[in-house]
Structure formats: C-alpha cells, structure tokens
Amino acid sequence: MFASSRYPVGSRKLKRFTPRFALFSSPVAPPPMPRALITGITGQDGSYLAEFLLEQGYEVHGMVRRASTESFERITHLAGRITLRQADLLDPLSIINMVSDVRPDEIYNLAAQSFVPTSWSQPLLTSEYTALGVTRVLEAIRLVDRSIRFYQASSSEMFGRVQEEPQTERTAFYPRSPYGVSKVYGHWITVNYRESYDLFAVSGILFNHESPRRGKEFVTRKVSYAVARIKHGLQDKLRLGNLDAQRDWGYAGDFVRAMWLMLKHNQPVDYVIATGKKHSVRDLVQLAFDRVGLDWQKYVEIDPQLLRPAEVNHLCGDASKARVELDWSPRVNFEQLVAMMVDADMSLVAREKAGADRMAQ
C-alpha cells in the first residue's frame, strides 16, 4: 500500500539516499573490563583467583594490610597486572574507602584467620577477622553500591561433628573450633544481608582445597615439604597428629573457578564445592612418601600435642547442586594433587639446598 503510493506502477523506483556521514562509522568503544576486588589476595586462593580472573579479562584489585613485613611471594609473578589496595578487615572506614575508590563489580572475600589450630590460641582475633570482618565488607557494599556482587568464603569446618554424610547445602552446621564457629557467623550474616538488603551475596561452602602454594603449617603442605626435605637428607622425622582424620581434598585452582561461576549465576545461591571423595591423613602420607620411593612408617611420629582439643573426624561434601546448576566439577584428583605438591616441594628444597651450599662455600 505505502510502497505503491510512493512508486506508481510502471514508474522507476528511486534509489534510497544514504547520508554521507553514515558511510563512516566511528570506532565502537570496547565494553569496559569487569572489575574485581579480592580480599586475601596474597593467600593461596587469592593468588589462584587473581590469575583466573585476569584470564577472563578482569581488572583485578587486591586488598592488603599495612605491615612492616609484607609477603607477596604468591603474587609476585602478577606484578604490573594487578592493583593492590591497603585496608584492614578490622577497620570499617578503610574498607568503605577502598570499595568507594575501586567501585568493583564483584568482591571476593577470602581474607580470614584461616589456620584452625591458631583459632584456639587466638579465638578473639579469629572472630574479629573471620566473623565480623565479613559484616564490615557487607556494610561497605550496602553503603557504597548495592549492585556489587559478593562472594563469601565459607568452609566445610562449619559442619564439624557431621550430622549426615555426605554434607550438602542443607546439612546442619555443628562447628568444632573457634574458626568453624566464626565461619558459621560469616555464612549466616551473608544470608541475612542478601535477604535484608536484596544484595547478590553468596557463600561457597568449600571443602579442603590444596596446592603447592598452601602454607607450610597446613597438613598437606607440611607433609609434602617434609617428604622433600627427608628425601634430600635435610630432615629425619615428620611429626603429625591424628592420622585417621579424613578429609575431602581438592585442588585450589579448581575451586576458585567455582567462586567465579557462583557470581555469574543468574540468582544468588549458596553451593557446596567438593570432590565427593574422602581420604585419611594416613593416605596422604603414604602417597607422598611413595612419590619419592620412601617407606613412610620409618619417618612419621605421632605427637599428641598436635591433636585438636575437639577433633573433626571426617568431612566429605556432595557438590551435586554445583555440578548441575553451575556445570562445575573438579579436574584434578587426589593422587594428582599429592604428586603435584611433592614434585613442587622437591624442586623447592633442591633450590634451597643449593643456595645453602653456595652460602657455605
């Protein structure tokens, strides 16, 4: 109808005129890089997460505390690619200022006093960082920008004296340490802020996850480092506590991917992240010594002082929900993880030994 009224039958259809300026399109600005802020960036998980987010095209900022001695060894290789910001989980104003300055799209709260045995000797400090520190970050989001997505690092230690096996998102908590109690608070305050202020705030209930970057005070790294030193002739014995304790151990590099997937989900939901397979400390020790061709029973001694006041005997998670809804699954199994850690520490101890030999000359 409209076409025939403009161009009568038998007439020549005129060519449509295109304005000259339309022929020269201006370059389209690339979309802004997503921006993430990681508390605890200098730790094991923080360093792996920073690497992963950089690979995804993020601008990465990390919170560090002002200290006379600073340990950045896990993120030294990222120098020039990340931005470090000074703040402290004990200082609410410093957190608010940091969040206001950075204006992140996502905050990953990994900072905590995370060594369980220390939580008995320093319970108040543990609760300040691991429990109330979560509230301070959430308050900063509430005050600065409620559109920021928030990830809280919850822990399998919240299950403690387990009420069912395996543990799922619906399993009741029964923490057995000040650390576990603090993590339960951090978990529930995250739920509370999500429901009270409509924040996209989630908790990842992560079971034990290890790597060559794990601190030497943790049992997995304590074992792999001691095995390497014994093999190199620098140590005679390895002292441990409960060899029968069982844990669901995974690889930290796999677990940080799950953190990111949670914040990319269309709804704020909490997830258990685990391998679903448990192994004893004894299994860990045997695999580690086997890796270097040694009989573990000749070198391991039980030290009663290393036993916990309230033991968590076994933990094993069911990550079925994450597998279905996030399409997440672990890629590194327990045997591969132990081999990775022992091999890394064999190389590390060889370098340390060579350095000591040079110094002695």
CB of 41 closer than 8 Å to CB of 62: yes
Q: Exactly one of 51, 157, 182, 211 is catalytic; name it.
A: 157
Q: Exactly one of 155, 182, 203, 211 is catalytic; name it.
A: 155
CB of 128 closer than 8 Å to CB of 98: no
Active site residue 157: yes
Question: What CA–CA distance (Å, rounded) separates 40 from 110?
Answer: 5
* Token duo for residue 109: 């709260």
* Token duo for residue 25: 């399109």
> 3-state class of 59 per DSSP?
strand
Q: Which helix (H) or strand (E) holds 131?
A: none
Q: Exactly one of 48, 108, 179, 225 is catalytic; name it.
A: 179
DSSP state of 130: I
In this structure, the number of other CB atoms found within 10 A of the CB of residue 55 comes to 8
Nearest Cα to 36, choosing from 20, 60, 16?
Answer: 60
Active site residue 70: no
* Token duo for residue 296: 């573990």
The catalytic site residues sit at: 155, 157, 179
